[in-house]
Structure 1
Amino acid sequence: ATLFELISSLKAKGSKIAFDPNYRARLWSSQEDAKYWTDKAYAEADLAFPGADDHLMLFGHTNADEIFSYLADKQIEEIVMKNGAVGVHILRQQEQCIVPVERVEQVVDTTAAGDAFNGGYMAARLAGRKPVESASYGAKVAATVITYPGAIISGDAFTNHIPSL
């Protein structure tokens, strides 16, 4: 409840809210509790990063259309759905597209793939890039991160593989 008071205060001051449900069943007392708080967070989000796997486990949604339909009444400005090797589905202002992800020859550790994508996407959007270009950039960031062990990699890895914004 305290978190949502803070979010409301920040939104009232003009902040934009991004949300990635990143559902992990073991971290919740029940699936119903997780659904309740996830829905509450979606209702506050301006930008949402639902994952296909998370939505399947939490809500039983099996495809992008089901996820977008579920989120339709939440008034989220931009929805960027991560769907593994299938690609990234973007819904913004009633327009939908799919952006292919980077192919990676040797995956070492996927621990931070989603967070890396989100960070790359938001960095590109804040740099003035359009959603499709931002998704491609986020995919490059994630593709770089998963070729290294652990969730945190050196900045040199990005310098060598990803063009600057």
Structure 2
Amino acid sequence: MSRRDQIRMTPDEVQAYFAEQKVINVASIGPKGRPHLAPLWYYPHEGGVATWTYGSSQKAKNLRRLAEATVLVESGESYEQLCGVSFEATVELIDDTPVVTQMGITLMQRYSGAEPGARPAPELEAFVAGQAPKRVGLIFRPTKLTSWDHRKLAGVY
């Protein structure tokens, strides 16, 4: 078995990794054809990830022009700890304010440590409802995925 095969994550491992990490790096194509890279908070969604951003942001403008991106989630401080998932994705942009509001609530709950699906505090709902009209939801659906988990090598290279 090749080293590549040894470090590849299973689909379940990829989903567990998405659930434990906190930041994605999203590469979209800017107006001059160059990559535009931006970090974002996210939550796992339907085999990929979802997030929101300001509708006026460069990444939103780029994704409206070309609804495709490359997404990277990675961790590890040394070679034997390196883990990550990189995937090419189609991107669905959501402009429906009630849906964007729910996406924002899901994000805020995840990063505040709230139980998924728990009833949000009224203050959180009010804050997100005020932000949602300025935001666009982004759903990244993987079309090609590569993963690695060097911890599977158990220190043997």
TM tier relative to shorter chain? under 0.3
For normalisation by structure 1, the TM-score amounts to 0.26
More helix by share: 1
More strand by share: 2
For normalisation by structure 2, the TM-score amounts to 0.27
Higher gyration radius (CA): 2
Higher relative contact order (CA 8 A, sep 6+): 2
